[in-house]
Structure 1
């Protein structure tokens, strides 16, 4: 679990006070990984107090995070810093938060990031790392995984050393999120709830968090009387609770198939989940029905024909990635999932998208 968290509108202004006790010395900087959307929009970065050799690195999120990107960031940090950094502070959406977690791990573990894709492969504790989401829904701020696309697959660095040491939740930071992105990322949280609450890994701990996140999602995406501030606050907490729910259970069919879309077609995670979930009535009938109601209420039109012109060989690549995520399928369908889900079945689902 994340050991320290602060929540509140305007709490971003406390960042310097929060992290300063963790500065190792004047030659060990804090490195800020910041979504490059804030490069020209300085209302956020102007509030970051840089001291000594602290640096802001602006990161493009046009593509999903890659193992090669992590390796390059780690190399650049090692080459330009006099000493190992005091900490990594990730400020952005799920992609930036996952990069921050991965970089903090690779600064203390040798080799490439792809070597740590999987479960409990990390040997050494990461350096101090802080997560500050500027969009709500992914749950990356609380999860024990850093999801990366590698040369062979899309899979997280799942370990007890992955979670942030400190998370700062300031709903005001989500004020400029575009409507479609707000919906797609919010639905990532909603789908977390559906997959966790309907999974075979469910337990009372994950259920409690999942039910709360599910109730918050219904308020946010179906109610007519929420103010903007209330919606921002509730979605940030839904993201936290949804992330906690899957941290103690697992996701399911939608995420497994979405990883295949992302790996081969480069589809961003949030919209990928929506594209897949729209066709999963067979597995989550009530959840999909409510998703369609939310989609209609907010006038969201999903792209069509994403997989229309793929060859059999291209489908096979996505199928291989999706089926490699065995814990997700087991959570969704039980230990005998391989007798239920075949490559042909996965292909038929992709063909609907």
Structure 2
């Protein structure tokens, strides 16, 4: 039997104020004065001197501000790569993503596509990347998605929403500074935190479960319960622990998989543009049949933080639109296998998925 030989993030810094070490970290990685570092930064920080003034720019380095209002697209990656190739004489020294899952996924994808020919959509799938990515760094400013630690970069392409899953995707360096997540709005904090929680539930109840995944998943789940249900945890402690929950939650699916909520939320995201964390919450809220204990706890967390999820997203969809969502969801075969085993398609028919989407 062949066991998967997964790569992990090779270097990580954790601690309040550790963002200030970025200059020191990058100094050793600059190839030459004509090889810039490209900083892909969530546009919510545009004009925010508290963060942008601390980005260590030198020589030809560039900050590109990017909206995270929509899920990252393959066409967006192609445009960024073209901009970089046309503007700079030398290949960049590195790509640094600063933001939530969208910015981290874009940074991973751009670093891959600078060394691999063709369009990004051609690499959506498992182990299709041929050449190593350039040096890339992830700095999360929202915690929960696990994008900082995963070997995938989830992108919406012209035909599907699917990750570039490869050994070259993980970051070379991650910088975890809990101070960077202190101003996240409550709803966004909840949705991304629940992405982490749902990672844990789907990993820990899946058929792919093993001791490796279980050890990370159980720790992440314990942290999520403390963060989202405790009355005694203070804000700083919650920020520190959410960063660790996100890391452990991402690791829990490295040697395992997610499940029903993620498969169905890909359909919502592809058709309606629903953000990943919110989409997971909308779907998971209706999955008592598959995760009874996990959904009950989710509803308790939702009530504690006064979160009201959008209703009726699918009420006016046409048959064609339902079929598009169903096609995307059914394409996530490893997720269904993890959730329900090899005979998952006896349970998950097109009619079953349609009836489930109609609840949303």
TM-score grouping bracket, smaller chain normalisation: over 0.9
Alignment equivalent of 1:119, drawn from 117, 121, 126: 126
In the alignment, what sits opposite 1:97?
104
- The SS at the match of 1:22 is coil
Say whether residues 1:145 and 2:152 are aligned partners: yes
Runs of 4+ displaced beyond 3 Å: none
Counterpart Cα distance in 2 of 1:13 and 1:201: 40
Alignment equivalent of 2:309, drawn from 299, 302, 306: 302
Cα distance, 1:49 vs structure 2: 1.3
- The SS at the match of 1:280 is coil
Counterpart Cα distance in 2 of 1:295 and 1:49: 39
Q: TM-score, normalised by structure 2?
A: 0.98
Deviations 1:188-226 (A, max 9, x none): 000000000001111100100000000000000000111
In the alignment, what sits opposite 2:27?
20
- The SS at the match of 1:90 is strand
Counterpart Cα distance in 2 of 1:244 and 1:20: 29
In the alignment, what sits opposite 1:68?
75
Cα distance, 1:311 vs structure 2: 1.1
Cα distance, 1:82 vs structure 2: 1.5
Say whether residues 1:204 and 2:211 are aligned partners: yes
Cα distance, 1:40 vs structure 2: 2.1
Cα distance, 1:340 vs structure 2: 1.3
Cα distance, 1:20 vs structure 2: 1.2
Counterpart Cα distance in 2 of 1:179 and 1:186: 10
Cα distance, 1:331 vs structure 2: 0.5
Structure 1: gaps spanning 5 or more residues: none
Alignment equivalent of 2:220, drawn from 213, 226, 230: 213
In the alignment, what sits opposite 2:234?
227
Cα distance, 1:89 vs structure 2: 0.3
Counterpart Cα distance in 2 of 1:182 and 1:131: 19
RMSD of aligned residue pairs (Cα, Å):
0.5
Cα distance, 1:338 vs structure 2: 1.1
Counterpart Cα distance in 2 of 1:301 and 1:40: 31
Cα distance, 1:312 vs structure 2: 1.1
Structure 2: gaps spanning 5 or more residues: 1-7
- The SS at the match of 1:157 is strand
In the alignment, what sits opposite 2:199?
192
Say whether residues 1:130 and 2:128 are aligned partners: no
In the alignment, what sits opposite 2:342?
335
Q: TM-score, normalised by structure 1?
A: 0.99
Cα distance, 1:270 vs structure 2: 0.5
Q: How many residues align?
A: 353
Counterpart Cα distance in 2 of 1:3 and 1:171: 20
Say whether residues 1:169 and 2:176 are aligned partners: yes
Counterpart Cα distance in 1 of 2:258 and 2:96: 27
Alignment equivalent of 2:18, drawn from 2, 7, 11: 11
- The SS at the match of 1:274 is helix
Q: How does 1:264-343 map to 2 (within 5 A)?
A: 264-343=271-350
- The SS at the match of 2:163 is strand
